[in-house]
Structure 1
Amino acid sequence: MKVLVTGGGTGGHIYPALALIRSIKKHNSKAEFLYIGTENGLEAKIISKEDIPFKTVTITGFQRKLSFENVKTVLRFLKAVKVSKKYIKQFKPDIVIGTGGYVCGPVVYAAAKKGIPTVIHEQNSVPGLTNKFLSKYVNKIAISFEDSKDFFPKEKVELTGNPRAQEVVEAAKSSKGNKLTSLGLSSTRRTVLIVGGSRGAKPINDAVIGILDELGKKEYQCLYVTGEVHYENVKNEWSKVKSSKNIVCVPYIHDMPQVLSEVDLLVARAGATTLSEITALGLPSILIPSPYVTNNHQEKNCRSLEHVNAARVILEKEMSSEKLLQEIDSIFNDSVTWNEMHHGALKLGQPTSGDELYRIITQLVK
């Protein structure tokens, strides 16, 4: 089986694509892959570290207001379709899968026009423009949130969840607290993981800095991922805290699925991949959605968790040190609350999402 995968722009599109590739390899060790992204996108850096052939096209997104730049985008799209058809002719894929981002547009469209089976995967509860456009041409649409189905042709939609969820569950099965102990924390104490993404999030960092002293006195422990940009500043503030034995600060964590499987509470942004991971694990969370993303999709994502009492939501404009500490304490100080959030998250989890996507693929490839 030859599989062409495309997706880029953010880790939320790239990591599910890699998880899907690994899932396909698990089922079919002879499967061959080609990944198409953009030269300047994050995918170029990430995929280069994997043993996956990588090709590029040049494409940008449409602006939401009338602009001459959109005319240029149309021309880039048409050129990218032509280049994609060349790659498709050379690779001869049995199926083409898009996991989101502008680059999916010309690649999946080109495949559909050539009669090749196509699938798109939507991670967010509210789809982006590219997947809405492609929904008219693809054979199947895999969604991560039940809320997404109303945006697409119903006969094409299947709820699969996010492939990253399955990887997290598999990591949890092999976890014995090793990651926490390697970071200098206890494997038996309740742990809150606070993270703002690979680059960090200043509002979250500011709020945490304001409560470092209080966190250091708690019975629970804290793993605080600052992001590379903010690490030195936080490290300086952390050094002033007298009682900090139960706090560990690091700039970045490479093995996040393993860490998530070992902690008891997450404080983070509300990216779609993060939410798929924590719902698969049944991990309670306090979510601070980024207000700077397209269509405010992070808030819409996390409201789905809030609705079933799987998460507490704090908008960035409402964020404060006191509010954050109050929410953490209220969850950890009441076992009934934690258990209700745990079961609420599990209700939304799709722990076999990679296998579900593989099932769809095999139905289309005959």
Structure 2
Amino acid sequence: MKKIVLTGGGTAGHVTPNIALLPALQAAGYEISYVGSYEGIEKKLIADFNIPYTGISTGKFRRYLDPKNFSDPFRVMKGFVEARNYLKNYQPDVVFSKGGFVSVPVVRAAASLHIPCIIHESDMTPGLANKLCIPVAEKVCCNFPETMKNIPADKAVLTGSPIRAELAEGSKLAGLNMCGFTANKPVIMVIGGSLGAANVNKAVRDALPKLLEDFQVVHLCGKDKIDNLLLNTPGYKQFEYIKAELKDIFAMADVVISRAGANAICELLALKKPNILIPLPAASSRGDQLLNAASFEAQGYSIVLNEDDITTNLLVDKVHELYFNRQNYVDAMSKSHQMDAVKTIMELINEAADKKTN
């Protein structure tokens, strides 16, 4: 039986693509293990899947002055030793890394043991952790065509991001019933996210009176962001967070308003959902969402609105424009080479594992 070690963590976005790969890896007969930080979010998320988990020491690589810059390199070195000892004992055929700072000691330790590594970069430009891993990686999976020029040509592969298969298996009727919506009025799905979504939430709620004239709105607004004054508004349903039923909400949605995080927009692409993207402004991020959104707009997958430019009338006009031209966006997404990421990444993993075995 072939063995694979998955790694990645720090945020859910560095873990969920690994989770999306689990069914395919299990079907292919891999023995799977996960290496993450001692108590990071990855440990909590992986616990649901009965995958053996090993924690290592990790530190953050900062581009700015911070007292921890003096101590974190020692944590990373400790993590490298811990990862190397674990990998030497476990002897995997391949390592797959989704990034985040915990992945650096794992990938570098694997390379020192001549274990092939496949890494995945979600954003347009590689983050610092992946930049440290690219030199020793066998292949680098990318979400965007524009990223390819930042990666050595013999390593870069346009794959898209692995999406959980169950997201495509939702029931529109179940979604309508859960929200108390009717089947004869189109549905807007709003994904604000749990962080940095206050402005998206406000823009949608300010536009609600006009939006509800022609649409129903289901709003995933984030933890503690329910507006109690709008609880009984007909045609408007709010949720802080949805897990198991998310597939039904997607199935019900005709169009989507979303932030432009890489995993979120790759889900929209895989599900072929026409969308308006409102990326986090550069002041609130390293600018990756702006680049992600620009790429999707250039490929014909999305309409992009800058947060600072949004007015009620502009948002309402763009929603109508998107809805009436929705088939054009579906057609563009249907031609994408980034939709079957699990299949493409599995081919890379199998190729690397076979090379190690032989």
Q: How does 1:1-366 map to 2 (within 5 A)?
A: 1-28=2-29, 31-65=30-64, 69-164=68-163, 167-168=164-165, 171-172=167-168, 175-187=171-183, 189-199=185-195, 201-216=197-212, 218-231=213-226, 234-239=227-232, 244-255=233-244, 256-291=246-281, 294-332=285-323, 334=324, 337-348=325-336, 350-366=338-354
Give secondary structure in 2 for the equivalent of 1:121. Answer: strand
Report if the CA contact (8 A) 1:200-1:227 is conserved: no
The offset of 1:159, in angstroms, is: 1.4
Distance 1:78-1:16 versus aligned 2 partners, 3 A rule: same
Give secondary structure in 2 for the equivalent of 1:136. Answer: helix
- Please tell me the residue identity of whatever aligns with 1:154: A
Report if the CA contact (8 A) 2:218-2:237 is conserved: yes
Question: Over residues 118-156 of structure 1, what are the superposed CA-to-partner deviations in whole Å (9 max), with x where a residue is unaligned?
Answer: 110111121111111111001111112111111111101
The offset of 1:9, in angstroms, is: 1.4
Report if the CA contact (8 A) 1:132-1:151 is conserved: no
The offset of 1:238, in angstroms, is: 4.1
Give secondary structure in 1 for the equivalent of 2:15. Answer: helix
Distance 1:10-1:180 versus aligned 2 partners, 3 A rule: farther
Q: TM-score, normalised by structure 1?
A: 0.89
The offset of 1:293, in angstroms, is: 5.6
The offset of 1:162, in angstroms, is: 0.9
- Please tell me the residue identity of whatever aligns with 1:179: G
Give secondary structure in 2 for the equivalent of 1:111. Answer: helix
Report if the CA contact (8 A) 1:20-1:354 is conserved: yes
Q: TM-score, normalised by structure 2?
A: 0.91
C-alpha distance in structure 2 between counterparts of 1:330 and 1:95, whole Å: 46
**Percent identity of paired positions between Structure 1 and Structure 2:** 29
C-alpha distance in structure 2 between counterparts of 1:293 and 1:359, whole Å: 37
Structure 1, 6-15 or 85-94: larger mean CA deviation: 85-94
Root mean square deviation of aligned Cα? 2.1
The offset of 1:109, in angstroms, is: 0.7
The offset of 1:188, in angstroms, is: 5.0
- Please tell me the residue identity of whatever aligns with 2:140: I
Distance 1:200-1:193 versus aligned 2 partners, 3 A rule: farther
- Please tell me the residue identity of whatever aligns with 1:33: I
Give secondary structure in 2 for the equivalent of 1:4. Answer: strand
C-alpha distance in structure 2 between counterparts of 1:186 and 1:56, whole Å: 48
C-alpha distance in structure 1 between counterparts of 2:122 and 2:24, whole Å: 17
Report if the CA contact (8 A) 2:170-2:251 is conserved: no
Extract unaligned runs of 5+ from structure 1: none
Extract unaligned runs of 5+ from structure 2: none
